[in-house]
Structure 1
Amino acid sequence: MGEEALIAAFAEIYRSRAGVSVGIGDDGAIIESTSALEVISADMATDGIHFNRSWSSATDIGAKIAIANLGDIVAMGGVPKFLIVAISAPGDEEVSYLLDIARGIESVAKDFDVSVVGGDLVAGKTLTIAITALGSVNAPVLRSGAKVGDKIFITRATGRSLAGLLLLSKGLASSDSPDVRAFQRPEFDPHDLIEFGFEKINALMDVSDGLLSDLPKLAKASRVGIDLTIDEKDLSFLEPLSEKLAIPPLELFLRSGEEHSFIVVVDSKWQSGTPESWIMLGTVVTGDEITYFGKPLPFQGTSWHW
């Protein structure tokens, strides 16, 4: 299939939604601006580095990359609106595989009323997908707004993604096991965060690399410390996976990345109004350290890899 035919096939998959004046098919997209500020983010994923074809389907790979981009927009206090998708692929790449990646991206876009408005397609040695996301934001929420005394929450418990990766890499589960689903395609539902209200949030961050890596980034940006006081009863759902891997639930929870939950920092006056599904992580304190009940963390952070 030639480039023009493949672009036409992509255009059949991607649907334009509200705010798109001109979408795929011209030299550029024309979109409507509905806010005073726009937020832009980009992510890139390469075969063999960021995803493994034997562990995830093309549809799940596309969805996961799209989720990563949408998460960055929400983490800035924004509402995602548009995606631009660029793909570099070997000349012998199966067209059906590329179309399935597009279907995965579109499935996420549809769920969140987002439009893919264009992109690029080039030949390359290794399959690489690059997505740029655009969204609208009224008042940005940054990592740097945490204040001493604020309370810290996570919108959804992490742990399953790392467990899935380890089960696959150790040969303890197959790619169709329910235990690895969170790794292949993370749950992503920021609606409770948006409904809670960005205006009540002092600092916000997408959990991409795991709490052990991301909390220090937030603390550094805000020039504060964080004392974690996690109730381990909230992590009981991880016990079956913990037993299979011989890794404590707390370690899975703190290390797991690419689940695109959100770290939310709020003034203590809003604590009682947070959604019941959110998990309390701890309190913002003076200093620059991340502690666990006032003591050094039992684990050290590491970079996250798919």
Structure 2
Amino acid sequence: MRARDIGEFGMIERIRTLFRSAPDIPVWIGDDSAVVRPFEGDTLITTDSMVEGVHFLSPWDAYFELGQKLVVAGCSDISAMGGLARYFLLTLVIPAETNLDVLERFLRGIAKKSEELGIYIIGGNISGGERIEAHITVLGETKKPITRSGARVGDIIYVTGKLGGTRAGLEILMNPKIDLDERIKKGLVARFLNTSGQIFTGKKLAETGCISAMIDISDGLIADINHIIELSGVGAVLDLKRIPIYEGVIEYCAKVGKNPSLFASVSGEEYELLFTVRGDCEKEFLQHLRDFDCPITRIGHIKRGSGLEGIEGVEGGGFVHW
């Protein structure tokens, strides 16, 4: 069956059956608007997109995983501001001839990941179009937002997790015949398609009271640290040798003749957190590290002036659309 066979309203009804309704939302899918009660703290609102031919290719046939990834991408922005995602709206652009199995897998991926993360769909929109597109708007809450503009001279730069796996996984999808151990290839592709992000870590970091600025790594570490220092009016020094490398990236880089640290520094869609700790609070912050279940690595510091030092040899600064 194709999308045209069930029509717009049939698709809306299918979404209603796949997703849970939020217990505290009196009006959701089916009305002109959702009704949301105000949060106790500040409300965070963000949006993200997944467009066929830009963010994914149909031959990958990984729609369930891509559905999960869309949710992670939206929720990661909320986490990066020290918040917790609560609700989301979903807009779908669907060509009339799209196979319903494709849509079903994509929606099931969204439903599964949203249930895992404890967030609820409250509405959205469906439209016809030339290619598959999905746009997510996420609402979250925080007691005190952490922005990109709070870094100060003397602050220390940290990153969660390990980097490079998503870029390697994408390159393997684009060149699946590369001569590399199949176990490593599968692991790196899974990292790209199943990036779990640090959806609850941002709130925990904010609660330490030591974080001055934070961003999630969507465009690449180099690009994203530049966002912080430009908005904060400072410079930064990075030690690329300290960047934590995802499993299998070293072996992949050996095959393609690339430096793993440089490679990892421009790997996008990682959805790890890049943040600065106040210089006068680092000792206190280190006491909190045992409370986190992900690696957290010191990779540099904030300096006076502007610009980024320590990135000699980096080719490109991360992902940009044009």
What TM-score, normalized to structure 2? 0.87
SS at structure 2 position matched to 1:102: helix
CA distance, structure 2, for counterparts of residue 90 and residue 267 of structure 1: 49
Greater shift, 151-160 or 232-241, is seen at 232-241
1:273 aligns with 2:287: yes
Residue 214 of structure 2: aligned partner: 204
CA distance, structure 2, for counterparts of residue 257 and residue 18 of structure 1: 35
Where do residues 81-92 of structure 1 align in structure 2 (5 Å cutoff)? Answer: 81-92=86-97
**Cα offset for 1:2?**
2.1
1:154 and 1:278 in contact (8 A); partners too: yes
**Cα offset for 1:299?**
0.7
Residues 29-74 of structure 1 deviation map (CA, whole Å, 9 limit, x = unaligned): 1122222421111112211111112225111111111111111111
CA distance, structure 2, for counterparts of residue 193 and residue 85 of structure 1: 23
CA distance, structure 1, for counterparts of residue 235 and residue 317 of structure 2: 19
1:230 and 1:280 in contact (8 A); partners too: no
Residue 287 of structure 1: aligned partner: 305
AA in 1 matched with 2:289: P
1:82 and 1:117 in contact (8 A); partners too: yes
**Cα offset for 1:303?**
4.2
- Seen in structure 2, the aligned counterparts of structure 1 residues 291 and 279 have a Cα distance that, compared at 3 Å, is same
**Cα offset for 1:227?**
0.5
1:249 aligns with 2:264: no
Residues 183-216 of structure 1 deviation map (CA, whole Å, 9 limit, x = unaligned): 1121223334422334321101011100121111
Where do residues 231-246 of structure 1 align in structure 2 (5 Å cutoff)? Answer: 231-232=241-242, 234-235=244-245, 237=247, 238-246=249-257
CA distance, structure 1, for counterparts of residue 298 and residue 316 of structure 2: 20
Greater shift, 23-32 or 109-118, is seen at 23-32
AA in 1 matched with 2:277: V
Matching residue within 298, 301, 304 for 2:313: 298
- Seen in structure 2, the aligned counterparts of structure 1 residues 120 and 190 have a Cα distance that, compared at 3 Å, is closer
**Cα offset for 1:179?**
2.4
AA in 2 matched with 1:51: F
CA distance, structure 2, for counterparts of residue 65 and residue 118 of structure 1: 16
**Cα offset for 1:286?**
0.7
CA RMSD in angstroms comes to: 2.2
What TM-score, normalized to structure 1? 0.92
CA distance, structure 2, for counterparts of residue 65 and residue 218 of structure 1: 24
Aligned residues: 303
Residue 221 of structure 1: aligned partner: 231
**Cα offset for 1:274?**
4.9
Greater shift, 73-82 or 192-201, is seen at 192-201
1:106 aligns with 2:111: yes
Residues 11-41 of structure 1 deviation map (CA, whole Å, 9 limit, x = unaligned): 1111123432222122211122222421111
CA distance, structure 2, for counterparts of residue 227 and residue 17 of structure 1: 45
SS at structure 1 position matched to 2:245: helix
1:44 aligns with 2:49: yes
1:182 aligns with 2:196: no
AA in 2 matched with 1:69: G
Q: What are structure 1's unaligned runs of at least 5 residues?
A: none
AA in 2 matched with 1:299: V
| Identical aligned residues as a percent | 25
- Seen in structure 2, the aligned counterparts of structure 1 residues 214 and 281 have a Cα distance that, compared at 3 Å, is same
Runs of 4+ aligned residues of structure 1 deviating over 6 Å after TM superposition are none
Where do residues 32-181 of structure 1 align in structure 2 (5 Å cutoff)? Answer: 32-172=37-177, 177-181=186-190
Residue 3 of structure 2: aligned partner: none
SS at structure 2 position matched to 1:284: strand
1:236 and 1:249 in contact (8 A); partners too: no
- Seen in structure 2, the aligned counterparts of structure 1 residues 189 and 56 have a Cα distance that, compared at 3 Å, is farther
